């Protein structure tokens, strides 16, 4: 533990929080304990290292400025300029990119920046349908991407795979200005080169959103789109184990001249600031720099490989146990189950598993008769299981927990579930045991006496 001003401020700050705001302090303590004691099999999340959390909590967040390093609109930026340059350098190194913008507040913002700077209102955007696994920002009608632009959506073939000839047909028929590839729930490898051929044929920009697979891409476990797509976007809190935020990465097209006469790089820089965002969150930029430094380590690469081998093992075991695994398996961290075939909904499955300390998320699946709050699918992921040190051997145990709950649970009305208390107690005990045997690395463990006191407080 450092003894400098950062460490003293952090310790003092938590002390003040406990003393002055016991209610909030208690909630934050309980949330941290919850993360230790539940088995997170959530594909859209990871657990940031305490050193990443520490960056977020620094006074760097007090610095108000606009613009980029060396060209700010405020004084006092000498040190934060260095922090941002470090984050940019590490982002470029991690992804082999020629240019990186580390300021987007989120993955969604990164996508909005790209849409609003490269297109005019009403232009056509071709993206994956939400129920097929696309993201809201890829042209869904619930999002500005589907309201300010004209969305056209591609789906999947009968095997649950991207149907590239069908995407090409849609592109030829609708001549989009921009094509999104990359998804929120698609477990198979994405052929970025095939997408670029389609985009080039119709004169569209290709944007690869690698939010879900950024860690696999950085580790070389999934092909990289950085030199293939015009623009690559990602969020930083999923597979990069970083803070909540986004990145925009450019590869060989960085200096491409757009019809405006400006380069792609300059256009996107101006689109982040001043077009869409104001002041950057420099504490978050520091946390991104910290997380991106880890990407270069052998441990990160080893874990990325294990994320995929464990997901494959989990999918194979669930399939063996009679569950319907969508897309026939996985090449990534993600396993999608169709629980509708068992007479369940995604929300019932999610709630029943959560009641046992197993955290997954409900998910729409192709042709889903239910809306996004109910769904017929469940999405599992291995980012946190791999971080906890689990390997292929433990996936039989994880699959057995999911299987036991999905077999025993009965719907009770639309959104409630009925689970045999014996099954619940048994699965909860086994999930808690797994968490104890595979603790979150580098995170101080909750002290048993405190956990007990906390439970009592929560029950009062």
Ligand X SMILES: Cc1ncc(COP(=O)(O)O)c(C=O)c1O
| Stretch of residues binding ligand X (CB under 6 A), selected from 92-100, 207-215, 395-403, 404-412 | 207-215
Quickly count: other Cβ atoms within 10 Å of residue 79's Cβ: 11
Q: Angle between the 421-437 and 392-408 helix axes, to the nearest 10 degrees?
A: 160
Q: Closest by alpha carbon to 236, among 286, 190, 187?
A: 286
Question: How many chain residues are in contact with ligand X, going by CB under 6 A?
Answer: 14
Minimum distance from residue 184 beta carbon to ligand X (Å):
3
Minimum distance from residue 444 beta carbon to ligand X (Å):
27
Between residue 351 and residue 410, which ones bind ligand X under the rule CB under 6 A? none
Between residue 43 and residue 72, which ones bind ligand X under the rule CB under 6 A? 44
DSSP letters of 221-251? SS---TTTSSEEEEESSSTT---S-EEEEE-
| Stretch of residues binding ligand X (CB under 6 A), selected from 29-37, 105-113, 345-353, 405-413 | 105-113
Q: Closest by alpha carbon to 217, among 237, 202, 197, 232?
A: 232
The yes or no reply on residue 209 touching ligand X (CB under 6 A) is yes
Binding mask 242-261 for ligand X (x = CB under 6 A): ----x---------------
Q: How far is CA 60 from CA 65, 191, 244, 247, in A?
A: 11, 40, 16, 19
Q: How far is CA 109 from CA 1, 143, 288, 316, 410, in A?
A: 35, 12, 16, 36, 40
Minimum distance from residue 233 beta carbon to ligand X (Å):
7
Rounded Cα gap, residues 69 and 176, in angstroms:
35
- The strand pair at 39-40 and 358-359 is best described as parallel
| Stretch of residues binding ligand X (CB under 6 A), selected from 92-100, 104-112, 350-358, 371-379 | 104-112
Minimum distance from residue 138 beta carbon to ligand X (Å):
8
Alpha helices in 72-130 (DSSP H): 78-95, 107-118
Rounded Cα gap, residues 45 and 345, in angstroms:
22
Minimum distance from residue 128 beta carbon to ligand X (Å):
9
Q: Look at residue 338 and give its three-state secondary structure.
A: strand
Among 63, 83, 178, 183, binds ligand X (CB under 6 A): 183
The yes or no reply on residue 188 touching ligand X (CB under 6 A) is no
Between residue 25 and residue 44, which ones bind ligand X under the rule CB under 6 A? 44
Between residue 211 and residue 230, which ones bind ligand X under the rule CB under 6 A? 211-212
| Stretch of residues binding ligand X (CB under 6 A), selected from 4-12, 66-74, 179-187, 365-373 | 179-187
The yes or no reply on residue 294 touching ligand X (CB under 6 A) is no
Q: Closest by alpha carbon to 378, among 339, 409, 436, 322?
A: 339
The yes or no reply on residue 184 touching ligand X (CB under 6 A) is yes
Residue 94 corresponds to which tokens in the numbers above?
A: 């991690």
Among 38, 101, 232, 235, binds ligand X (CB under 6 A): 235
Measured at CB, which residue is nearest to ligand X? 107
Interface residue list for ligand X (CB under 6 A): 44, 106-108, 135, 137, 182-184, 209, 211-212, 235, 246
């Amino acid at each position: 533990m450092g003894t400098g001003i950062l460490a003293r401020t952090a310790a003092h700050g938590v002390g003040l929080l406990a003393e002055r705001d016991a209610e909030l302090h208690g909630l934050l303590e309980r949330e941290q304990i919850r993360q230790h004691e539940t088995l997170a099999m959530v594909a859209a999340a990871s657990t940031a290292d305490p050193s990443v959390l520490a960056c977020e909590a620094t006074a760097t967040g007090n610095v108000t400025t606009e613009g980029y390093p060396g060209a700010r609109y405020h004084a006092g930026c000498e040190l934060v300029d260095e922090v941002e340059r470090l984050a940019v350098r590490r982002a470029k190194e991690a992804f082999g990119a020629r240019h990186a913008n580390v300021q987007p507040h989120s993955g969604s913002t990164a996508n909005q920046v790209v849409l609003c700077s490269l297109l005019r209102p009403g232009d056509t955007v071709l993206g994956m349908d939400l129920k097929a696994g696309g993201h809201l920002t890829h042209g869904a009608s619930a999002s500005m991407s589907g309201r300010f632009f004209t969305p056209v959506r591609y789906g999947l073939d009968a095997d649950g795979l991207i149907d590239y000839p069908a995407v090409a047909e849609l592109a030829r028929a609708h001549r989009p200005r921009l094509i999104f590839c990359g998804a929120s729930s698609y477990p198979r490898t994405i052929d970025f080169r095939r997408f670029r051929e389609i985009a080039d044929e119709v004169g569209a920009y290709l944007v690869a959103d690698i939010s879900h697979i950024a860690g696999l891409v950085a580790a070389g476990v999934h092909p990289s789109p950085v030199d293939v797509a015009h623009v690559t976007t990602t969020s930083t809190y999923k597979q990069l184990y970083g803070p909540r935020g986004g990145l925009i990465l450019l590869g060989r097209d960085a200096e491409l001249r757009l019809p405006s006469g400006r380069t792609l790089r300059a256009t996107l820089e101006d689109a982040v600031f001043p077009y869409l965002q104001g002041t950057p969150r420099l504490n978050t930029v520091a946390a991104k720099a910290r997380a991106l430094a880890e990407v270069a380590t052998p441990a990160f690469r080893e874990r990325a490989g294990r994320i995929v081998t464990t997901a494959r093992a989990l999918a194979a075991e669930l399939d063996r146990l009679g569950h319907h695994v969508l897309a026939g398996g996985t090449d990534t961290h993600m396993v999608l189950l169709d629980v509708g075939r068992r007479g369940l909904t995604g929300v019932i499955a999610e709630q029943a598993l959560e009641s046992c300390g197993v955290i997954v998320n409900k998910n729409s699946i192709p042709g889903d008769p239910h809306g996004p709050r109910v769904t017929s699918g469940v999405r599992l992921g291995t980012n946190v299981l791999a971080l906890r040190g689990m390997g292929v051997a433990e996936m039989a145990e994880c699959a057995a927990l999911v299987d036991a709950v999905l077999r025993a649970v009965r719907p009770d009305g639309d959104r409630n579930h009925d689970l045999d208390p014996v099954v619940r107690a048994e699965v909860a005990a086994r999930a808690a045991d797994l968490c104890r045997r595979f603790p979150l690395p580098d995170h101080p463990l909750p002290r048993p006496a405190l956990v007990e006191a906390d439970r009592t407080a929560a029950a009062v």
